């Protein structure tokens, strides 16, 4: 499908015309306007000692004349945003596989490290994930989650965007990475800058900051990940909301891990692969060890840690490192029956829980027999586990005792007005 037609479908004709008008001011005919935007963005990030992840189309990178590469030294990661800015849900599996491999080769030739992928328009078909995996990417960040934070201020244009992206409600699904067959899937949170500026209407920067501050508060409460979407081209319009979020995040306790998407994907994969070894000495003392992982913490609830722990929050205490001794009246792990759904153990291990297969309910503080377990059940199970008070020992979900995570990310669709024109033709 023609990208211009897609834009009209996503935004409506009036918005598309208005957007084409503002684009002229934003991009200009040389890459210098994007360079200025990236420079400003990098300065804000440096002030808060954090980085960001910017997916860019390979075609725009190819024409970029050195604008992009230098930002890698400033804690900015680039990812692939398609070879061209087109709707991948309309492409055959072979075409997608060929495009993604050429995109990776092009990034490599330009000296741009690339770990991740985000689909243009957040759209894809059944073959897309497999093609991303085969091309050797570590993560994909194209699935979207819609947060209920517009407080009745929604608009038809916003509802249209959510439907177009296929966004799922964040009230029903956890905002967490998911490792599936080697690929880490990282959800993208909505509303992003495009929705805040072009689809929702706010009086000023403070009102415009509210939805993002609410997502930050909610992800912090749940211990989840906020991927804040801000296209570099809109940094001048969204600088205050971005600063408000980073300022707030830096002040929260327990802390917020502010990291790039590649760092988050690597952490998630490494932590999920830990294989804890558990020992028991009569009458009630356990030890747990695993191979070292920088930043790893062990959390305990309703158990007596032998090494003095530090208070964490919500009734948990924490111990840094990869080994711990503790006393507990029951095995403080999650016992699950072998007939439970195959994905259940993997899901729990990815959350940091220690899982053991068993038929013996009485030994375990938490025992699950779930022959059926789907994506829709994840949120409820996490709430039950977090809300309980039974003895548990687990790995911290995020590094260094952080309670939640935040990642700043935004697509670079075009560097110049010329790119934008080619993009409209799918080039």
Which positions touch Zn ion (CB under 5 A)? 120, 411, 413
DSSP string, 310-377: EE-STTEEEEESSEEEEE-SSEEEEEE-TTS-HHHHHHHHHTTB-EEE-S-GGGEEEEE--S---HHH
- What's the CA gap between 352 and 288, in Å, rounded? 13
Q: Which helix (H) or strand (E) holds 134?
A: helix 126-134
**Nearest distance, CB of residue 61 and Zn ion, angstroms:** 13
**Nearest distance, CB of residue 413 and Zn ion, angstroms:** 4
**Nearest distance, CB of residue 242 and Zn ion, angstroms:** 19
- Comparing CB distances to Zn ion, the nearer of 258 and 261 is 261
Is 260 within 8 Å of 51 (Cβ atoms)? yes
Closest CA to 418 of 153, 39, 62: 62
DSSP three-state, residue 105: helix
DSSP string, 191-257: S-HHIIIIIS--SSHHHHHHHHHHHHHHHHHHT-EEEEE--GGGHHHHHHHHHHHHHHHHH-SS-EE
Residue 115 neighbours by CB distance under 10 Å: 20
**Nearest distance, CB of residue 84 and Zn ion, angstroms:** 11
- Comparing CB distances to Zn ion, the nearer of 193 and 224 is 193
- Comparing CB distances to Zn ion, the nearer of 119 and 404 is 119
- Comparing CB distances to Zn ion, the nearer of 413 and 419 is 413
- Comparing CB distances to Zn ion, the nearer of 1 and 240 is 1
**Nearest distance, CB of residue 18 and Zn ion, angstroms:** 18
- What's the CA gap between 387 and 380, in Å, rounded? 10
**Nearest distance, CB of residue 142 and Zn ion, angstroms:** 10
Is 336 within 8 Å of 344 (Cβ atoms)? yes
Is 117 within 8 Å of 142 (Cβ atoms)? yes
- What's the CA gap between 316 and 298, in Å, rounded? 10
**Nearest distance, CB of residue 205 and Zn ion, angstroms:** 24
**Nearest distance, CB of residue 231 and Zn ion, angstroms:** 8
Q: Calculate the CA dihedral of residues 99, 103, 109, 111 and round it to 10 degrees.
A: -170
- Comparing CB distances to Zn ion, the nearer of 143 and 378 is 143
**Nearest distance, CB of residue 155 and Zn ion, angstroms:** 21
* Residue 335 main-chain phi, psi, to 5 deg: -90, 130
**Nearest distance, CB of residue 74 and Zn ion, angstroms:** 22
Residue 380 neighbours by CB distance under 10 Å: 10
Rg (CA), the chain: 23
- Comparing CB distances to Zn ion, the nearer of 190 and 305 is 190
Q: Calculate the CA dihedral of residues 53, 177, 141, 143 and round it to 10 degrees.
A: -150
- What's the CA gap between 270 and 248, in Å, rounded? 29
């Amino acid at each position: 499908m023609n990208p211009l037609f897609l834009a009209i479908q996503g935004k409506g004709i009036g918005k598309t015309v208005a957007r084409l008008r503002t684009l002229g001011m934003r991009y200009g005919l040389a890459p210098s306007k994007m360079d200025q935007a990236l420079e400003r963005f990098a300065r804000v990030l440096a002030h808060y000692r954090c980085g960001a992840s910017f997916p860019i189309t390979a075609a725009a990178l190819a024409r970029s004349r050195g604008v992009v590469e230098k930002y890698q030294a400033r804690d900015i990661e680039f990812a692939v945003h398609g070879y061209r800015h087109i709707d991948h849900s309309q492409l055959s599996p072979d075409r997608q596989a060929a495009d993604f491999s050429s995109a990776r080769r092009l990034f490599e030739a330009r000296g741009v490290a690339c770990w991740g992928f985000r689909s243009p328009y957040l759209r894809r078909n059944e073959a897309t994930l497999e093609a991303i995996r085969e091309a050797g990417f570590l993560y994909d960040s194209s699935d979207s989650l819609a947060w209920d934070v517009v407080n009745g201020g929604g608009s038809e244009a916003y509802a249209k965007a959510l439907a177009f992206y296929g966004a799922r409600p964040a009230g029903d699904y956890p905002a967490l990475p998911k490792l599936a067959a080697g690929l880490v899937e990282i959800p993208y949170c909505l509303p992003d800058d495009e929705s805040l500026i072009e689809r929702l209407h706010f009086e000023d920067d403070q009102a415009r900051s509210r939805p993002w501050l609410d997502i930050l508060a909610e992800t912090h409460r749940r211990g989840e990940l906020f991927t804040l979407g801000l296209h570099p081209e809109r940094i001048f319009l969204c600088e205050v909301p971005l600063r408000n979020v980073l300022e707030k995040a830096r002040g929260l306790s327990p802390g917020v891990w502010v990291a790039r998407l590649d760092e988050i994907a690597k952490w998630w994969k490494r932590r999920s692969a830990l294989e804890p070894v558990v020992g028991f000495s009569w009458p009630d003392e356990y030890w747990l060890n695993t191979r070292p992982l920088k930043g790893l913490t062990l959390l305990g609830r309703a158990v007596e840690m032998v090494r003095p722990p530090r208070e964490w929050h919500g009734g948990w205490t924490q111990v840094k490192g990869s080994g711990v001794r503790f006393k507990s009246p029951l095995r403080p792990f999650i016992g699950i029956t072998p007939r439970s759904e195959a994905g259940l153990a993997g899901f729990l291990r990815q959350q940091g829980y220690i899982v053991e297969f068993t038929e013996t309910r009485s030994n375990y503080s938490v025992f699950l027999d779930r022959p059926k377990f789907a994506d829709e059940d994840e949120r409820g199970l996490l709430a039950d586990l977090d809300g309980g008070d039974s003895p548990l020992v687990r790995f911290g979900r995020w590094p260094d005792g952080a309670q939640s995570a935040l990642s700043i990310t935004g697509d670079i669709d075009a560097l110049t007005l010329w790119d934008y024109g080619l993009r409209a033709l799918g080039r």
